[in-house]
């Protein structure tokens, strides 16, 4: 009986032991299979790091595109221009009269007073040859007594005027030195509407802050914009390149560059829509580089642009009404409105005085009065 009782006690203890063992929470005891887990986690993290590195590398590559390369290539040849100008002002006499008798009798009362004032202005320019020739707008250096050109990096030079042309608003300057960085001149006849362009220059004199040009980016909005002759000026703007790259006061004379780093035009003026609002509104205009190349070639060869001719007649633009009334087989052009007596046109004979279609020399691309 005692032996049977002991067997039951042992059986109960044995069952209790197994229940305790099976009921205890299992510990994460390292095993060979468990030992694989840290290696797998390390491999996953490594792949994530590689993906992040490749993504960062892709961003870095995408930041260096055609625009940034063109800006970096053009920047060293863009200059800031500071000009001291002498402006002449006329103050009309309060006793002004057109009567020659009184003007001759009391000249001191009726004579207009002319006085001069020195003013400082600024603009932009770009170097076109390693020996220091550079281009800007004529209105930037008009009436200049001193011209200081600042190169990227801070080097300053006194510039002299080689020649200017008011009608085309182009000026050629020269600074002394050698091995200057210079820009490649492109072909404005191949400009594509919608292509990316870069305007570089010295807006508001910002070039002076760190001796570096300001870069703005846009597209070619239109080509062949004809403005004709400006009010109170001899300047005629035709075949202008329109862009939405930001152009402001001080950008005049700076280059308009395509994505290949070639100059396609010279930034010249903006349209604001108001005489009171002078800021940029997305409409700027540049002189085509092909016209600039033609003008500076003449300036370098002769010191001026040869426009010393007189045909002896006056013209005006053709409009749809005149084309219909005269039954002309053209869409644009000019019509002779006056022939000066004794001129070459007058001596040419009456057969040239009636509306006709005439052929022009090769290379004549003018449209309307300004082109003519």
Residues identified as active-site: 139, 169, 252
How far apart are alpha carbons 251 and 78 in whole angstroms?
11
32: helix, strand or coil: coil
How far apart are alpha carbons 134 and 247 in whole angstroms?
20
What counts of helices (H) and strands (E) characterise the chain?
A: 11, 18
- The residue among 248, 261, 268, 177 whose CA lies nearest residue 207 is 248
Structure tokens, 104:
């001759």
Beta strands 160-165 and 184-185: pairing type? unpaired
Q: Write b or e for each residue in 329-355: b if 16 or more Cβ atoms lie within 10 A of its Cβ, otherwise e.
A: eeeebbbbeebeeeeebeeeeeeeeee
Structure tokens, 344:
């070459």
């Amino acid at each position: 009986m005692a032996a049977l009782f002991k067997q039951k006690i042992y059986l109960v203890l044995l069952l209790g032991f197994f229940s305790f063992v099976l009921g205890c929470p299992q510990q994460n005891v390292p095993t060979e299979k468990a030992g694989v887990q840290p290696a797998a986690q390390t491999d996953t993290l490594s792949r994530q790091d590689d993906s992040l590195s490749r993504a960062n590398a892709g961003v870095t590559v995408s930041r260096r595109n055609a625009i940034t390369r063109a800006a970096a290539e053009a920047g060293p040849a863009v200059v800031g221009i500071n000009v001291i100008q002498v402006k002449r002002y006329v103050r009309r006499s309060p006793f002004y009269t057109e009567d020659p008798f009184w003007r001759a009798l009391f000249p001191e009362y009726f004579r207009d007073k002319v006085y001069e004032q020195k003013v400082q202005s600024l603009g932009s320019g770009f170097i076109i040859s390693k020996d220091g020739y550079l281009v800007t707008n004529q209105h930037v250096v008009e009436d200049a007594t001193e011209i200081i050109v600042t190169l990227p990096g801070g080097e300053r030079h006194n510039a002299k005027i080689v020649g200017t042309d008011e009608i085309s608003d182009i000026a050629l300057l020269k600074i002394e030195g050698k091995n200057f960085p210079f820009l490649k001149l492109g072909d404005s006849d191949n400009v594509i509407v919608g292509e990316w362009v870069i305007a570089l220059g010295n807006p508001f004199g910002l070039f002076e802050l760190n001796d570096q040009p300001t870069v703005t980016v846009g597209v070619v909005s239109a080509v062949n914009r004809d403005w004709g002759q400006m009010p109170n000026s001899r300047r005629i703007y035709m075949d202008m390149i329109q862009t939405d790259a930001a152009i402001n006061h001080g950008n005049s004379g700076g280059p308009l560059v395509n994505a290949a780093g070639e100059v396609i035009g010279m930034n010249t003026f903006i349209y604001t829509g108001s005489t009171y609002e002078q800021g940029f509104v997305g409409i700027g205009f540049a002189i085509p580089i092909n016209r600039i190349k033609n003008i500076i070639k003449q300036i370098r060869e002769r010191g001026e642009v040869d426009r010393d001719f007189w045909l002896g007649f006056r013209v005006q633009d053709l409009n749809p009404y005149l084309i219909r009334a005269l039954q002309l087989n053209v869409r644009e052009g000019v019509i002779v409105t006056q022939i000066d007596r004794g001129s070459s046109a007058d001596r040419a004979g009456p057969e040239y005085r009636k509306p006709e279609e005439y052929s022009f020399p090769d290379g004549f691309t003018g449209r309307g009065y300004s082109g003519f």
